[in-house]
Amino acid sequence: MNNLSIHIDRDVKCARCSDRASVRVRYAKLNLCDKHFIEYINDRVYNTIKRYKLPREWKRLVVGVSGGKDSLSLLYILSDLRERIGVSEIYAVHIDLGIEEFSASSLNAVEKACRETNTVLILVRLREIMGLGLPELVKTTKRPPCSICGLIKRYLVNLVGVELDADGVILGHHIDDILVFALKDVTTGDFQDLAKMTPFTPGLRGVLAPRVKLLYEIHEEDLALYSRIRGISFVEKPCPYKHHDLLKTKIREALDDIEDDIPGFKITLARRLSELAKQLSGLIEENIEPCKHCGAPSKTGVCGYCKLTSRIKGEPGGPRTRELIRGIIRSLR
């Protein structure tokens, strides 16, 4: 277990005020009190925008929120930075997967966070959209739950971003997720996916919403501390379908070990990764073809969602889903 940022018990002063420090940020060699730790993380996200020269003119952003600590912390960070980054509208999109207790507590946490951050919530219920929740979809398709879930969530969150004509869709992926995904891509030879590991991926109007990884340099443990210090309620119980990916776990442990011995290693690696991914994205041209049924991005002319729904229901569900999403958005305006 690494300790990037740890709570300290000794009577150490905050580096930015005369209060007692509560957190030691190892990679930055900083002791900070609660208030200055929150500020520090907000500043790090703000600096990510500057470092990676992310677009600065953001009118409308969409944040995908699951109810976990990462995406909810992101929502609070964004609401603090709202004026500094000049964004006028922030929408949170939450997909209710219909997994009984887990989905109910996820939604509770999301609703509370949206109330506290004054964010408009776009709630998409899988049972209303597809007529089935994830448990039934898993039984019907016999496919691994996370693969169906990932496909549906990517589809719906992108659709909300496209329908809102958002300047960016942001997910709660932090540096640990990004590095693990990237190293797994290297191991499996998925260079097309590796090329997407840039902090910003441009969109295609009406088809693909631009994607922004604002937590590119924020560690998972920082987010755990951030959410605790800020008193953010989040779902602590893991999803009942969560499965153990041995390769990912081993990569994560190896990265944690190195970070323990060389604080700051992950940030250095993420910066190199951003350069590599940028160069790769210039070399590998992704062939995006709008789905002939619903206009979503696809490689073959039919998107994964339309293929999935055709198999389950006998017809592509994309067009109806798009209409339903439009209806949800209209009802908010």
Which residues of this chain interact with Zn ion, rule CB under 5 A?
A: 14, 16-17, 19, 33, 36, 291, 293-294, 296, 303, 306, 318
Binding of residue 149 to ligand SF4 (CB under 6 A): yes
User: How far is the C-alpha of 17 from the C-alpha of 216, rounded, in Å?
Assistant: 28
Q: Indicate whether 291 belongs to the interface with ligand SF4 (CB under 6 A).
A: no
> What distance in Å separates the CA atoms of residue 61 and residue 75, rounded to the nearest whole number?
11
Q: Which of the choices Zn ion, ligand SF4, none does residue 239 contact, using the CB cut-off of 5 to 8 A by kind?
A: ligand SF4
> Among residues 7, 242, 299, 326, which is the contact residue for ligand SF4, using CB under 6 A?
242
With CB under 6 A, what is the number of residues at the site for ligand SF4? 7
- Which tokens in the block code for residue 62? 């969409």
Out of 150, 202, 206, 264, the residue judged to bind ligand SF4 by CB under 6 A: 150
- 38-54 as b/e, with b when 16 or more CB fall inside 10 Å? bebbbebbbebbeebeb
DSSP assignment string, 235-295: --SPPTT----HHHHHHHHHHHHHHHHSTTHHHHHHHHHHHHHHHHHHHS----EE-TTT-
Shortest distance, CB of residue 149 to ligand SF4, whole angstroms?
Answer: 3
Site string for ligand SF4, 129-148 (x = CB under 6 A): ----------------xx--
Contact 262, 198 (CB under 8 A): no
From the list Zn ion, ligand SF4, none, partner contacted by residue 17 (C-beta under 5 to 8 A by kind): Zn ion
The count of residues in the chain is 333
Residue 9 CB contacts under 8 Å (≥ 6 apart), including other chains:
none
- Interacting partner of 297 out of Zn ion, ligand SF4, none (Cβ under 5 to 8 A depending on kind): none
How far is Cα of residue 217 from the mean position of the Cα atoms in its chain? 13
Give the H or E element holding residue 140.
helix 134-141
Q: Which does 114 bind (CB under 5 to 8 A by kind): Zn ion, ligand SF4, none?
A: none
Rounded Cα distance between 171 and 93, Å, is: 10
User: Is the CB of 14 or the CB of 107 nearer to ligand SF4?
Assistant: 107
> Which residue, 149 or 328, has its beta carbon nearer to ligand SF4?
149
Quote the least distance from Cβ 106 to ligand SF4, whole Å: 9
Return residues touching ligand SF4 (CB under 6 A): 145-146, 149-150, 239, 241-242
